[in-house]
Amino acid sequence: MLSSNIFNIPVSQGSICNWQKRLSFNLSGYEYVVKEELLKSAVAHADETGLNIGGKNKWAHVLSTDDYTYYGLHDKRGYTAMEELGLTKYTGKLVHDCFKSYFRWDKVSSHGLCNAHLLRELKSVAEHDKLGFANKLMELLLKIDKEVSSAKCTGATGLLNSELKGYRKDWFRILENATLELKSLEDAGRQKELTALINRLSDYHKEYLAFMYDFSMPFSNNQAERDLRMLKLKQKISGCFRSKDFADSFLRVRGFISTMYKQGLNILDSLRRILDSPSDFNLVV
């Protein structure tokens, strides 16, 4: 029905599949250019999500910015997959969750961790474990984010050293009190889990607070999460991909559509141009 409304003629599923294959083939050169642009970007976001392909779990990896989106499909989730997809060549500032494989990207200049993830973790601790440190750390994170946003609006390029030292001191004071709070928990297993959380927040405090030290770093990894959302929606509707070839084609076309949207270009017109003459299509940089 939707295809009939768009093209004003009945369109079979076979035709749509053939167009997708042709689009994917025509986009091979474009995909190389996008990846090269991403590898040169000053700040990039990375994430990964599982995809059901023929009843087996595979992994879709994303590297993206405000302007570009690249998806890569691999059998594995970790560093081997990222390396084989060419993502570990990235040399800029990388924003991601705390998955350890990202810290193995040895060419990256600095790392930033997602505070949206952290806020969700802390909210769960506050609601289910009733521990006060979680609320205090959430309040501190949001206070720093507000302060950074206000400073950016005034044209400032960073916080004062006194402010940085004060917020860092507050961070560790809350973590120190959290360690004391954990002693009140009767569940030894849960106590161990939360001890690991506190240790992570201590060990990676610079990465969680990267947005405070470097105004070019974002507060969260929401960019990558948004770029993966359509893949999860597709899987929720269809259940799975029938084959790896179709999954690869979908990811390549989806990456193109996402990039065209970010570039402010008409998506249907861009798809038509790729189908008609891929060599004439110039990527907006």
91-133 residue pLDDT tens: 999 999 999 999 999 999 999 999 999 999 999 999 999 999 9
Give the CATH number, domain containing residue 17. Answer: 3.30.420
The radius of gyration of the chain's CA atoms, rounded to the nearest angstrom, is 22
User: What's the half-sphere exposure (Cβ side, CA atoms, 13 Å) at 32?
Assistant: 4
Mean residue pLDDT of the chain comes to 92
Range of the domain at 126: 115-213
pTM: 0.91
Which residue among 213, 245, 267 closes a domain?
A: 213
Residue ranges with strand state E in 75-123:
93-96, 110-113
Q: Quick check: is 91 in a domain?
A: yes
Higher pLDDT: 281 or 207? It is 207
Mean of pLDDT values over 192-210:
97
Q: How far apart are the first and last CA of the chain?
A: 35
Which residue among 213, 237, 268 closes a domain?
A: 213
Residue 108 and residue 129 in one domain: no
Alpha helices, H only, 27-114: 28-40, 79-84
Residue 98 and residue 171 in one domain: no
